[in-house]
Amino acid sequence: MAKRIGLFLATNIAVLVVLSVAVQLLGLEDVLRGTAGGGLDLTGLLIISAIIGFAGSFISLLMSKFAAKMTTGAKVIENPTSATESWLVGTVQRQAQQAGIGMPEVAVYDSPEPNAFATGWNRNNSLVAVSTGLLRSMTKEEVEAVLGHEVSHVANGDMVTLTLIQGVVNTFVIFLSRIVGHIVDKAVFRSEGYGPGYFITTIVAQIVFGILASTIVMWFSRQREFRADAGGASLAGRQHMIDALARLESMQHGKNQLPQQMSAMGISGGVGQGLKRLFMSHPPISERIAALQRIA
């Protein structure tokens, strides 16, 4: 499901940019800065930052299904036209009932990479999609385990939890970037009001803080993968979940062929060491398999 988080983060960034531009055009930057007597009203600034930060994450959540379909070209199966499509819909329906969630939309998208993802703004209005590459390269038992993994993400409410975490992250990125912009503008550029130095510094600081803050979201994502794997094992069998992950690992070869902005949404994830690991949405597959093998 590396696609789910990557698309959500990309949408969130785009929404924040649009909101920031709107703030500028509407002349609300003074309110966002929270100026008071030439200084900063930190309480006011924090409140406004939270409103914008959470608005960005919740708008991203509401757009998640539409954005996923548009980015991948996923086609929802409305009326199955083949035995494979009928099996996919039937399997997801059975797993959704077991997990206690509403029936997700089921879709297939054209990609040689074996991958799948789930997204949606709540447990009863979600989307589960698989790639043509996954259907071609895995057995039915392995595909069923992958579907169970994605259904578990929906049942666990991972998108909503991610939205809340991203909202907090957005809040502090906006809040701290304005403080840095204020300090640099007054100490370095010595502006009487707020000049270009403030705006340039704020934008740079927001980008830097945003990159650093994304490591928090990625850490959360890695932890949720273990839980989704356990859910897939419960719905489709532990050995089938292990086999599916092992198959993905054998075909991964250190590459992820999903679009870059979607790479955190698919089940296969990626590989990485050192600092790169901080930005990984998924633990290494070997660790995920080991965790499943420890389940009694």
Cβ–Cβ under 8 Å, residues 258 and 266: yes
Cβ–Cβ under 8 Å, residues 10 and 4: no
A 10 A CB-CB count for 164 gives 14
Residue that the structure tokens 């304005």 belong to: 178
Q: Which two structure tokens, joined as six digits, stand for 255?
A: 């590459």
Is residue 141 annotated as part of the catalytic site, yes or no?
no
Q: Which two structure tokens, joined as six digits, stand for 156?
A: 């666990």
| Segment holding 215, helix H or strand E | helix 196-236
A 10 A CB-CB count for 273 gives 8
- Calculate the alpha carbon distances from 249 to 145, 262, 289 in Å: 15, 19, 10
3: closest CA among 96, 140, 107, 138? Answer: 107
Using CA of residue 88, residue 261, residue 242, residue 233, what is the dihedral sign? negative
Q: Taking each helix axis from N to C terminus, what angle separates 238-252 and 140-155, rounded to the nearest 10 degrees?
A: 100
Cβ–Cβ under 8 Å, residues 245 and 1: no
What single-letter DSSP state applies at residue 124? T
Catalytic residue among 150, 192, 225, 249: 150
119: closest CA among 59, 58, 56, 68? Answer: 68
Can you list the positions of beta strands (E) in the chain?
35-36, 39-40, 75-76, 105-109, 116-122, 125-131
Catalytic machinery residues: 150
